[in-house]
A and B are shown apart, each in its own frame.
Chain A
Amino acid sequence: MAIDGILQRDVLMRRIRTFFHERGFTEVETPVRVEAPCMELNIDAEPSGEHFLRTSPELFHKRLLAAGHSSIFEIGKCFRRGETGPLHHPEYTMLEWYRANADYMDILADTQALVQTVAEGQDLVSGDWKILPVSEAFLEFAGWDPAGNHDEDRFDIDLVEKVEPAIKKMGGPVVLIDYPIEAAALSRRKPGHPLVAERWELYIDGIELANAYSELTDPAEQRRRFEECAARRKAMGKTAYPIDEAFLQSLENMPPSGGVALGIDRLLMLLMGADSLDAVLPFR
């Protein structure tokens, strides 16, 4: 059993909680068993009786922001059906945090401070982080610009075959930023740049660690995205989840916000210099 992983996880958890508490965040708990998991094309929820296990606490956090909480974080288990591999496990620990009146760049500053704090001076994450726009990365490594010219299959395949290996070669932290609007998920359109959305993904040594947005707060646009996604899921033979009406209603009152989800197991793995989750998940 990975004794070292267990002890280092304990240390990491304390440091994360201290980091957020020192910055005035409130630790929150939201439901794990939900009726309406967040509707995403390629994320499948594990059924649990009449409910589903959450794939992320995102929708509840936004309801808390709408209710007036301004800085919140949660560490908890999330579940994604069918994701198994050296970097995937269907049950894993997610850290999410959200800030009202902030955007994805504010969240990036938080993330850099957090990761550098918990890594305690490890070279891996120190210094400036490289910010790499998605369009630039694809033009350089795959020879095309997906913004305004999106092709989902080509995007995904070139991302794993060309862009991610190039990011791995760069080493250290690389932030892939400003995704094509078609890959916005729950992020808002970038003001003045209609083809891209304010979303970034952090890679450390080529391993994807966190996904952040300037949150979409337009209920009509959010409903349109959910409905389109539900139709596509149905067409693919997947479960179309119910639309979370309470969440959509709360968007009416949600301030502009930024938020991020960061995989704790992968962070721990990177800090330990391991290359598989086997090193940090003793019961896998």
Chain B
Amino acid sequence: MYSASDLKKGLKIEIDGDPCMITGFEFSKPGKGQALYRCKIKNLVSGNQFDKTYRSVEKIKRCSLMSRDFTFSYIDGENYVFSNNETYEEELLGSDLIGDLKNFIIDDMQVEILFHNDRALDITLPNFVEMVIAETEPGARGDTATNVMKPAKLENGYELNVPIFINEGDTIRIDTRTGTYADRVSKG
């Protein structure tokens, strides 16, 4: 258990069984009154934000989050299926949890899934993924400038900007954290 005086921004706590994170924190002590800890809290499951005030005598439940390693297996309808690298058990993540990362998930990709008890909360992909350019205007020959960008499309339909020298069939690396072009791996 945490004491109210342990609270700070970024701390993860458990409220009513849900993992939550403190996103804002203010120490308050009105007049001759007791110390109060005013928190802005985000529920890590629902994403809901709310305010909560703790008194100094209150105890707050710790939240144990654990990351485990998985390998991507296949897509089953709305779910993405991963297998646990140690136990080979399958874990289904809904497309709402995957969000835009769906564009960068490839066969056999190694990922980390964050759990609160047995509930999956979040997924982290490798920072970079290699993908093939499916569509883009041909670049000017010999132009290796990296600061001039043009639109391009991947095989899965994801659109991004790439340098002007990239051509269809090239393999590029994408930063999965930002969804942007990182560098070219090989020519198509």
Contacts and interface: CB of A to CB of B under 8 A. Distances in A.
A93 to B, nearest CB: 17
Determine the interface band of chain B, counting residues with CB < 8 A from chain A: 10 to 19
Interface string A29-61: 000000000001111000000000000000000
Interface stretch (B28-36, B133-141, B152-160): B28-36
A211 B32 contact: yes
B35 to A, nearest CB: 7
Given A153-B55, A157-B53, A236-B57, A85 B32 contact: no
Given A201-B31, A208-B31, A236-B57, A160 B5 contact: no
Interface residues of A, number: 27
Contacts of A221: none
Contacts, number: 61
A156 B27 contact: no
Contact of A159 (B26, B27, B33, B55): B33
A143 interface: no
A84 interface: yes
Given A82-B5, A153-B55, A236-B57, A159 B30 contact: yes
21 contacts: A41-B34, A42-B34, A43-B32, A83-B27, A83-B35, A84-B27, A85-B29, A86-B27, A87-B27, A88-B29, A152-B33, A153-B34, A156-B33, A156-B34, A156-B36, A157-B36, A160-B28, A160-B38, A161-B53, A201-B31, A211-B31
Interface in B14-67: 26-36, 38, 51, 53, 55, 57
Given A153-B34, A159-B33, 9 more contacts: A40-B32, A42-B35, A153-B55, A156-B36, A156-B55, A157-B55, A160-B36, A183-B31, A211-B32
Contacts of B51: 161
A185 interface: yes
Contacts of B28: 85, 160
Contact of B27 (A88, A164, A183): A88
Interface string A175-187: 0000100010100
A155 interface: yes
Interface in A1-21: none
Contacts of A164: 30
Given A42-B35, A82-B5, A160-B36, A208 B30 contact: yes
Contacts of B32: 40-43, 183, 185, 211
Nearest to A153: B55
A158 B25 CA distance: 17
A155 B33 contact: yes
A183 B51 CA distance: 26
